[in-house]
Structure 1
Amino acid sequence: MKIIGLSNIRYELDNLKEIPHILFVGARGTGKTTLAMYLAQTKHKNIHFLTGNTLKKQDMLATFVTLEKNDIILIDEIHRLRPEVEELLYQPMELFKLPIQDKSGNHLLLDLEKFSLIGTTTKPSKLSKPLLSRFQLTLHIPHYNIRELARIVRTKYNISQREALLVASNTITPREALNLAFRVVQLGGNIQKNLEFIGYKFGLSKTERYYLKIVHKVGKISKRSLASALQIDEDELDYIEDKLIHKGLVEITNRGRSLTIKGMLKIKEMLK
């Protein structure tokens, strides 16, 4: 498996003598799950895939008792675990022992095979301190540059470097770049015209341009009101704001949201 970009993270993972409990933090679509798969592949380990928001206590128990030595457990969206499932992780992560109750009601500790737990999250602030403290390594996934995103696009689609850069300039994550490339390639013909046809202009989607216009006209506005005006949920708004902040168009402070100088120039460009 080839990973494009993230050279510092790849170097650290490649040089691990043993795999600790790892928390990957980053925006959606940045490759957190891909990094976990890369680690499992390069270290020749089995990996068990679980999803935080759907994971039940019995599923977690079943995973623990079927572990083989040095397996990896991957929990995607670990910040969305139910409290009773999260609490079940504490002793296994720290002691490799699973608390159980026998038929007589006696509390016992079942020895587990040594394993590594990898969690992925877009919202580390929503993880409890007891869970956070059990991760020996926390890696924050940085934003990709446009050339890296273009290289990722070209690994899957047979388009020119210029066309790949056009697609990449409208995105900030590999998943977003690949999804956008799929749309414009499926339409056939000119990539630039296809981007405009599906609503991308000035390096922004229609929703992102509307966001800038609202903030420019209204000024202070609550997150809920802004999400309502854009007809998106607050998680989607978080992603858009992360993208606009990364592009240097918006800043968010205690006083609210405002356009940067670059954002004001973008508005002028859009109004021409």
Structure 2
Amino acid sequence: MRVPHDDGPPPPPRPPKGRKRPGERAAEAGASDMSQEPGRAALSPTVAGGEAGESLSLRPQSLAEYVGQAALKRKLEVFVRAARGRDEPLDHTLLHGPPGLGKTTMAHILAHELGVRLHLTSGPAIEHKGVLAGHLTALGPRDVLFIDEIHRLAPTVEESLYSAMEDGRIDLPVGEGTRARTIGFELAPFTLIGATTRTALLSGPLRDRFQIIEAIEFYGDDELAAIVCRTASILGVPVSGAAALEIGRRSRGTPRIANRLIRRVRDFAQVRGARSIELADATAALLELGIDSEGLDMLDRRLLTMIVENFRGGPVGVEALGASLGEPRDTLESVVEPFLLQRGFLLRTSRGRVATMKAARHLGLELPPGWQGALDL
């Protein structure tokens, strides 16, 4: 029985099928007038629901559609085919790597390739054993449970997960005091896919219970260009190969950023009245977004400039950098530094962070004599 709430006035009645509310008719009329106005851009979104709908449609559905990570795809394809041949669930899998590289997307793909349902949750959302038990008991045979940021599970929840992964059961306490007892729940055979950006924070006992442990690496510029072309095609936006490569080159090795940038470049091109995205359109839009020729954004340049000018090139501790920049340590370590380290703009030493000669040349900064970064030629 549904209990009424007094949270406010009732929602407006739905219009009959085939009819629209006045506001919707006005919005459509305005859009129609805008499309007929001379000089307007030819580019327009083609996916219903705005960018929320677009983000869902951009996710590849199979390993064949997934761009990049060739070695990882070959291994996972073997594991999936073997599991399906035995009519068994895929072994428990741990995916690790920086944010935005496609760990959640890979979980969707694995569930699709296995022909089973995917259940999504995250470490912070599983607050106690009861929540975990609710997720586990809802799984059907061979279903996939995906836990994002699995290193953030509470210790008591993690301990309950051990028996679920190894023995296919979970034990829950019932009652209190002298009447307390434990009831075991048998679980359907399932696959746990865990994702983490901080492998070092994952406890040893939990990590050892995964039979498949794979890293997702940063993407190359050509792979990101292919992702940009695929995304632009889905969005209905023509893009040249040179423009796609330029966007991919400045995407920090991360598909999530590449997809975000192609949307923003599309906006600039649309407002300028362009019928397709060319190299000049992409370059101008990325300049407006504050992303330079090496893919560094404003925070990257602030960090490197701070090391060179305020700390004489380094070394400097991450806590001092965070305080100087007004950014938390986690942001610097997990968001900013991985790309700068990969591209050779930053060194991480036992004494702290050191900006490299490449960083100084890119920023056009002069360096003091005897600077340690000069060793990195």
Alignment match, 2:101: 30
Alignment match, 2:325: 230
Number of residue pairs the alignment of both structures matches: 271
- 1:6 partner amino acid: Q
Whether the 8 Å contact between 1:170 and 1:205 is mirrored in structure 2 is no
Which of the residues 133, 145, 151 maps onto 1:61?
Answer: 133
Which of the residues 156, 161, 177 maps onto 2:231?
Answer: 156
Cα shift at 1:102: 4.8
142-151 vs 165-174, which moves further: 165-174
Whether the 8 Å contact between 2:222 and 2:245 is mirrored in structure 1 is yes
Alignment match, 2:142: 70
- 1:225 partner amino acid: A
Whole-angstrom CA distance in 2 between matches of 1:194 and 1:114? 50
Asked which structure has the greater RCO (Cα within 8 Å, sep 6+), the reply is 1
73-82 vs 108-117, which moves further: 108-117
Is 1:187 equivalent to 2:187 in the alignment? no
Cα shift at 1:270: 10
Cα shift at 1:100: 2.6
Alignment match, 1:200: 291
Whole-angstrom CA distance in 2 between matches of 1:133 and 1:28? 23
C-alpha RMSD of the superposition: 1.9
Q: More strand per residue: 1 or 2?
A: 1
Identity %: 31
Q: Deviations over 1:220-252 (max 9, x none)?
A: 322122123333322321221100111111110
- 2:306 partner amino acid: I
SS of structure 2 residue aligned to 1:99: strand
Whether the 8 Å contact between 2:317 and 2:351 is mirrored in structure 1 is no
Cα shift at 1:269: 8.0
Whole-angstrom CA distance in 1 between matches of 2:365 and 2:243? 22
Gaps of 5+ in 1: none
TM-score, length basis structure 1: 0.93
Whole-angstrom CA distance in 1 between matches of 2:351 and 2:293? 28
122-131 vs 203-212, which moves further: 203-212
Gaps of 5+ in 2: 1-60, 84-89, 273-280, 368-377
Whether the 8 Å contact between 1:202 and 1:270 is mirrored in structure 2 is no
Cα shift at 1:202: 3.0
- 2:180 partner amino acid: G
Whole-angstrom CA distance in 1 between matches of 2:366 and 2:298? 11
Cα shift at 1:107: 2.5
Whole-angstrom CA distance in 2 between matches of 1:40 and 1:206? 38
SS of structure 2 residue aligned to 1:15: helix
Whole-angstrom CA distance in 2 between matches of 1:100 and 1:59? 11
Alignment match, 2:71: 8
Alignment match, 2:277: none
Larger-Rg structure: 2
Q: Mark the CA change 1:101 to 1:206 in structure 2 (over 3 Å): closer, same or farther.
A: closer
